Amino acid sequence: MQATERYASHDDRPREDHVVFLSDVSWKDYERLLAIRGDHSAPRIAYLDGAVEIMSPSQTHEGIKSVIGALVETYCLERDIEFSTYGSWTLKDKRRKRGAEPDECYVFGTANAERPHLAIEVVWTSGRIDKLDIYRKLGVREVWYWRKGVIQPYCLRGERYEPVARSEVLPGLDLGLLTSFIEEPTTSAAIRGFRNALQSSTGQG
């Protein structure tokens, strides 16, 4: 997949997102941090074997993840795919000493699920905690990493993730096409453009 021009050369050194790392944090202290933060989408808190990352996303970070989410939802509506969105759902497992909150996440179909089928992560700042290592133990089927204008999907194979060329939870989705609309000046323009492209591909509209 080709990176879009605007983001391909983005300098992802820590400058815009505010990230704090803590070490030797007990599970009890991690849960205390979650309680202090309360029922908000930010800052997002990740826990991996005693290491904690507290990340306050920048406006650009939030904008990208919101547009990706809107385009996923547009695709599902156009293709009659049932979905539920859960935003930054706090996923955690005390026994495995892991916890994370995705930028966006989804369950597809109508059945209840203990874990999202898809988690989306925007990498606007490098050097962050390895959330794939968290998600694999939490049993999230698929994770998308957006970085420098490209979405790379990872699918869970047993106890590890493999990079794949196409989404498996949304197998008909052209990720390159979706990504091409992220740079539109407004979210509404991105939705309209993507919807028109989807309808054109099926002879509708």
The three-state (H, E, C) secondary structure of 113-126, written as one string: CCCCCEEEEECCCC
Average model confidence (pLDDT) across the chain: 90
* Statement: residue 203 has pLDDT above 70: no
Q: Which of 128, 111, 91, 95 is nearest to 14 (CA)?
A: 128
- Burial class of residue 182 in the structure, from the number of CB atoms within 10 Å of its CB (0-12 exposed, 13-18 middle, 19+ buried): buried
The answer to whether 175 and 1 are in contact (CB under 8 A) is yes
Looking at residue 14, its pLDDT comes to: 47
Residues 48-74 have pLDDT tens digits of 999 999 988 889 899 999 999 999 999
Lowest mean pLDDT, pick from 107-116, 126-135, 137-146, 194-203: 126-135
* Statement: residue 107 has pLDDT above 50: yes
CA distance 150 to 4: 7
User: Across-strand partners of 154?
Assistant: 143, 163
pLDDT band at 41; cut points 50, 70, 90: confident
Q: Which of 123, 170, 132 is nearest to 151 (CA)?
A: 123
pLDDT band at 39; cut points 50, 70, 90: confident
* Statement: residue 148 has pLDDT above 90: no
C-alpha dihedral, 23 to 43 to 59 to 83, nearest 10°: 120
Number of Cβ atoms within 10 Å of the Cβ of 185: 7
pLDDT band at 125; cut points 50, 70, 90: low
**CATH number, domain 58-201:** 3.90.1570
Query: In the chain, what are the domain boundaries?
Result: 58-201
